[in-house]
Homo-oligomer: A and B are copies of this chain.
Amino acid sequence: MSISRPLPLRQVNVTDPFWRQEVSLVRREVIPYQWEALNDRVPGAAPSYFMHNMRAAARAVRARKAGQYFPLTQGVTGITSFPPEGAAPDPDYFYGFVFQDSDGYKWIEAVSYQLILQDDPALRRAAQEAVDAIREAQEEDGYLDTFYTLTGVENAFTNLRDNHELYCFGHLTEAAVAWKQATGQTDLLDAACRFAGCIMRRFGPGRERGCPGHEIAEMALFRLYEETGDVRYRDLALFFLDVRGTEPSTFALEENRRRVRQGLPELPVTAARYAYHQADVPVRETTEARGHAVRQMYLAAGMADAARLTGDGEMLAACERLWRSVTREKLYVTGGVGGTHVGEAFSLPYDLPADTAYSETCAAVGLCFFARRMLELSPLAEYADVMEQALYNTVPAGMAMDGKSFFYVNPLAADPAYCEKDERLAHVKAVRQKWFPCACCPPNIARLLSSLGQYIWTGTEDTLYLHLYIANETEARLNGRPLSLRLDADLTKDGRAALTVTKGEAEGTLAFRVPGWSGGKYTASASWDEGLTLPASPDGYLRLTRRWQAGDRVTFDFPMPARLLAAHPMVREMTHQVCFAKGPFVYCAEEKDNGPRLFLLRVPLNAAETAETFRAAVAGSELPALRVPAYRAELPEGDALYRPAGPERLTETVLTLIPYFAWNNRGKGEMRVWLPVKG
């Protein structure tokens, strides 16, 4: 391990034209819209009930303190509670999913990052209103979860597997640390610490065994430890990691306690049943990414934090095995993960279907969390390659280019006629939705993009690693001395990048990632050496050590030709199919440009060489696009369903491709990433 850390968000100003637009969409559209959603003020959208629940819980806590009666929420079914159809919500009842509190926490986290980037008193006031509501909903002992406060707090911590209170705690903690970093206020941090204290009185070494059903508390607790210095938080996170997947399964034990109360016989307590929760084997023994993809990614991020903070080699090796499992066997070319909707989960190795893909937006966000943490452990260009793959493709695909609608599921092929009629595709939407009853994805995009600056650089005492070619201005430190840097780049246009020292003087190393998409090739020059040559290290970084001073400038040109990609032959679904990429962007064909029946298109194997790059106007933006000579299979004469095999009859056509993330911004229609090759 050679540990580096992200630069503080406040010190990285993203100036990149593409990403500035994405980040500002989040600020202008997503965050205000979500505040309305959290207050149930969006006509026609599923209510969030976040503020509703917080206010009801606050009244319940006050009533209980005053010894007054407060009604318990009735009519909870499984993990949801909704008003009877047509009825008005009861102001005192809990509504939504059991994890509804997290909606607001994620929003506060995103708001905090945006306030760090640029203050906004009105936005700060709205967030303060949420923070105050949260604090008032906290129980006297620090417990904070409106579901249990409103349905019977005596049942708290009895169903960690399904009921998400440790998940909500994790998001609360992420929000609290971000809020403190943005505003300097400890109000929300105090609430998170008090809740952590409540949890620690129940769980931990020498106390009850247990771990979260949906991970995130692990990485949140490590962050809380790093913010406060209180090692108890680190140790609780390690405890959660260590309990996970061990025998007897705590999920099974708690279920048996519930069953005994209901007079039902006990079930076996083996961990093997809990692959969905990544609790089937101890985390150090993990060999394969499995189960619910978001959970797996959050767990992997927490494991990487643990490896960094403890130097635990077994944990590091488990992280590396998970990384290989994801990236060698279970990763969509668009940087998405989750091959099956059953359990929103990782499928079997090499099972990466295009049209039935799950590829949840949140899971791609989680993959960025994991990849950034792997980069912190060791600067390997492949970690950044995969992070970039998710960041330029599935993550922005999750949000419309006007910031007003969202994908939860990100298929690699869509035909609206099928999505709308075939129940096997019920999870796939051909059109982005305004909001979701389970609204996890939009705020996850918001918190990732609002903190984008933390994914570009990491640094050690004497080295600054540039992982992503996202134009930015940075106030960094090198060997203790401040150094202001400016990166100019625009990957929507070409692979050129220029790093300029704008202020300061410091000795040390700048390390530049050689992007995977460049094929390892580049040309470089420096203000002091026109013919600069730099061999890449085995880790994929170009290192340049000198006494840096204002005016120093290094430029790179990474070749960015259109590329034609094939999947590993073990990916049976992609046999004889190819897709296009250029730089970090994966491309897709849309019906809008290419007419219907995209599956009849045929791509010659030399298509990358003949592809022509141009700028296309999509939803008001200029985007990189490709024009490629290709073919279209003709429909044969006659209507026989089966006929003697022979060469297809083809007509020439020109294929137009746009970046995958931009699909479905020009109305409803077919889309395909993978296209059949010309036979």
Interface residues of A (CB under 8 A from B): 324, 327-329, 331, 333, 340-343, 347-348, 351, 356, 417-418, 421-424, 563-572, 575-576, 578, 597, 599-600, 605, 608, 633-636, 639-648, 676-677, 679
A642 & B333 in contact (Cβ 8 Å cutoff): yes
Q: Apart from A348-B417, A348-B422, A576-B677, what 16 extra A-B contacts exist at CB < 8 Å?
A: A328-B641, A329-B641, A340-B423, A342-B422, A342-B424, A351-B422, A564-B645, A565-B644, A566-B644, A570-B597, A570-B635, A571-B641, A605-B645, A605-B646, A645-B677, A679-B679
Write the chain B residue with the least CB distance to A567: B642
Write the chain B residue with the least CB distance to A331: B641
Please pick, from B348, B423, B570, B605, the residue contacting A342 in the complex, using a CB distance under 8 A. Answer: B423
Complex Cα gap A677–B572 (Å): 13
Chain B min CB distance to A191 (Å) = 40
Pick the 10 closest A-B CB pairs, nearest first. A566-B645, A572-B599, A564-B645, A342-B423, A576-B576, A578-B645, A328-B639, A565-B642, A569-B633, A575-B676
Chain B min CB distance to A275 (Å) = 10
Complex Cα gap A328–B642 (Å): 9
Which residues of chain B come closer than 8 Å to A347, judged between CB atoms? 422
Chain B min CB distance to A173 (Å) = 34
Complex Cα gap A356–B329 (Å): 22
Complex Cα gap A644–B329 (Å): 17
Which residues of chain B come closer than 8 Å to A568, judged between CB atoms? 635-636, 639-643
Which residues of chain B come closer than 8 Å to A645, judged between CB atoms? 564-566, 578, 605, 608, 677
Chain B min CB distance to A65 (Å) = 42
Which residues of chain B come closer than 8 Å to A324, judged between CB atoms? 639
Chain B min CB distance to A405 (Å) = 26
Chain B min CB distance to A650 (Å) = 11
Chain B min CB distance to A87 (Å) = 14
A418 & B644 in contact (Cβ 8 Å cutoff): no
Complex Cα gap A351–B600 (Å): 15
Write the chain B residue with the least CB distance to A415: B572
Name 14 interchain pairs, CB-CB below 8 A, sorted by A.
A340-B424, A347-B422, A348-B418, A356-B424, A564-B645, A565-B644, A566-B646, A568-B640, A568-B642, A570-B597, A571-B641, A576-B676, A605-B646, A608-B644
Chain B min CB distance to A467 (Å) = 20
Please pick, from B340, B421, B569, B647, the residue contacting A600 in the complex, using a CB distance under 8 A. Answer: B569
Chain B min CB distance to A598 (Å) = 9
A565 & B679 in contact (Cβ 8 Å cutoff): no
B569 & A418 in contact (Cβ 8 Å cutoff): no
Which residues of chain B come closer than 8 Å to A342, judged between CB atoms? 422-424
Please pick, from B422, B570, B600, B644, the residue contacting A563 in the complex, using a CB distance under 8 A. Answer: B644
Complex Cα gap A564–B646 (Å): 9
Which residues of chain B come closer than 8 Å to A422, judged between CB atoms? 340, 342, 347-348, 351
Chain B min CB distance to A43 (Å) = 25
Chain B min CB distance to A582 (Å) = 13
Which residues of chain B come closer than 8 Å to A423, judged between CB atoms? 340, 342-343
Complex Cα gap A578–B633 (Å): 16
Chain B min CB distance to A584 (Å) = 13
Chain B min CB distance to A517 (Å) = 11
Write the chain B residue with the least CB distance to A676: B575
Which residues of chain B come closer than 8 Å to A578, judged between CB atoms? 645
Chain B min CB distance to A422 (Å) = 7
Which residues of chain B come closer than 8 Å to A328, judged between CB atoms? 639-641
Write the chain B residue with the least CB distance to A389: B642
Write the chain B residue with the least CB distance to A333: B642
Which residues of chain B come closer than 8 Å to A563, judged between CB atoms? 644
Which residues of chain B come closer than 8 Å to A341, judged between CB atoms? 424
Chain B min CB distance to A404 (Å) = 31
Complex Cα gap A600–B576 (Å): 11
A565 & B643 in contact (Cβ 8 Å cutoff): yes
A635 & B424 in contact (Cβ 8 Å cutoff): no
Chain B min CB distance to A240 (Å) = 28
Complex Cα gap A324–B608 (Å): 42
Most-contacted residue by chain B among A342, A422, A578, A645 (CB, 10 A): A645
A679 & B569 in contact (Cβ 8 Å cutoff): no
Write the chain B residue with the least CB distance to A635: B569
Which residues of chain B come closer than 8 Å to A418, judged between CB atoms? 348, 351
Which residues of chain B come closer than 8 Å to A564, judged between CB atoms? 644-645
B679 & A677 in contact (Cβ 8 Å cutoff): yes
Most-contacted residue by chain B among A342, A572, A576, A641 (CB, 10 A): A641
Complex Cα gap A552–B563 (Å): 71
Write the chain B residue with the least CB distance to A355: B572
Write the chain B residue with the least CB distance to A353: B424
Question: A641 with B679: in contact, given A347-B422, A569-B636, A575-B576 (CB under 8 Å)?
Answer: no
Chain B min CB distance to A643 (Å) = 6
Complex Cα gap A679–B645 (Å): 13
Complex Cα gap A342–B566 (Å): 32
Complex Cα gap A639–B567 (Å): 11
Chain B min CB distance to A639 (Å) = 5
Complex Cα gap A421–B564 (Å): 33
Write the chain B residue with the least CB distance to A578: B645
Complex Cα gap A559–B75 (Å): 71
Complex Cα gap A571–B635 (Å): 11
Complex Cα gap A636–B565 (Å): 14
Write the chain B residue with the least CB distance to A575: B676
Complex Cα gap A648–B577 (Å): 12
Complex Cα gap A568–B348 (Å): 30
Which residues of chain B come closer than 8 Å to A599, judged between CB atoms? 572, 575
A348 & B576 in contact (Cβ 8 Å cutoff): no
Most-contacted residue by chain B among A340, A565, A575, A644 (CB, 10 A): A575
Chain B min CB distance to A217 (Å) = 28
B676 & A641 in contact (Cβ 8 Å cutoff): no
Chain B min CB distance to A381 (Å) = 13
Chain B min CB distance to A350 (Å) = 8
Complex Cα gap A640–B382 (Å): 11
